[in-house]
Amino acid sequence: MALTRRAFTAASIAAPAILAGRAVAAGRPVTVASLLGEDKPETKIWRRVTEKLAQSAAGRFDLRVVPNAALGGEKEVAEGLRLGSVQASLFTISALSSWVPDGQLLDLPFLFRDRAHLKRVLAGPLGEELKRKYEAQGFVVLGFINYGARHLLAKEPLTTPASVKGKRIRVIQSPLHTELWSGLGAHPTPIPIPETYNALKTGVVDCMDLTKSAYVGFKLHEVVPYLIETGHIWATGVVAVSASFWKGLSAEDKTAFAAAAGEAAGYFDELIVADEDASMAKAKAEGGRVVQPEDRPGWEAGARKVWASFAPKLGGIEKIEAIASSA
């Protein structure tokens, strides 16, 4: 029997959901963008949110997670969130610096001693201050996350600050990251994360920096086998939803979604630690090498230049020094 136009349209709409192995949900549709696949924390966190909402807000939300950067890199997804075409995603602080420059405080190199130090700082007034500023720009932050420390990735062991001089380095589209590497004599080139593999493979850039989890998540160990364990920046991120989506929720639904996202943020941090270990084991088995940096005082001296340069924009050097020395 031939399909009527109405029946064909209905079938077309239903098909993607059926192919995905679930019936069409009646809840509010929530398009969620993830940069990586189902096996990585960046996607697993949203499966956790879905599970929690199934318990606390059964039938009221339909999270449609789109993995593997199918909706673009962080900048594209951020624009989508502000426009309301994407309702939720994770973002690095760096990627949001165009809208909230104050967030760059968290990206200052060698500012935080470890994960715990960063977490304590964000649990205080600074975290609340930044949340208000993100919301004013269309990003409702429901939790902070830690992607792990950023390390230098290269085709050769660039272990000293002097060794990066003249190298073309891929950077996040952030003024702070650009200034850090240009100050060390490298040539920063902003490139969206989905394009970095080809850029490194073809020689558009020589090196970049990234976390251990994402290093293997994007298969970069295949093209830049050396990970120089600089740990220069703790890659802070946020679990965010669009302001337009958030404003449309009832108080009850806001409470449920915020609780699910907050719990999932802690789950994400646990997953990242485990994933770093698994990722580096995979990299080692496939030819990757971890080497230690030399001349750490030289690396830290380069970082201090960035502190001084950005201090007037980030509340002053006293504020930065207070964070660095806080318990």
pLDDT in tens, 118-130: 999 999 999 999 9
Amino acid identity for residue 125 in this structure? P
Percent of the chain with pLDDT over 90: 87
Q: How far apart are CA 276 and CA 268, in angstroms?
A: 12
Tell me the pairing of strands 61-66 and 139-154. unpaired
Taking the C-alpha atoms of residue 34 and residue 43, their distance in angstroms, rounded to an integer, is 6
Q: For the domain 28-325, what is the CATH superfamily, name and number? A: Bacterial extracellular solute-binding protein, family 7 (3.40.190.170)
The total number of residues shown for the chain amounts to 327
**pLDDT one-digit tens code per residue, 62-74:** 999 999 999 999 9
Answer yes or no: are the C-beta atoms of 320 and 111 closer than 8 Å.
yes
C-alpha distances (whole Å) from 235 to each of 125, 152, 245, 287 are 20, 13, 26, 25
What's the predicted TM-score (pTM) here?
0.83
Give, in order, the Cα–Cα distances in Å from 106 to each of 122, 192, 238, 272. Answer: 9, 20, 12, 18
Predicted confidence band of residue 42 (pLDDT cuts 50, 70, 90): very high
Neighbours of 68 (CB within 10 A): 14
CB atoms within 10 A of CB 49: 28
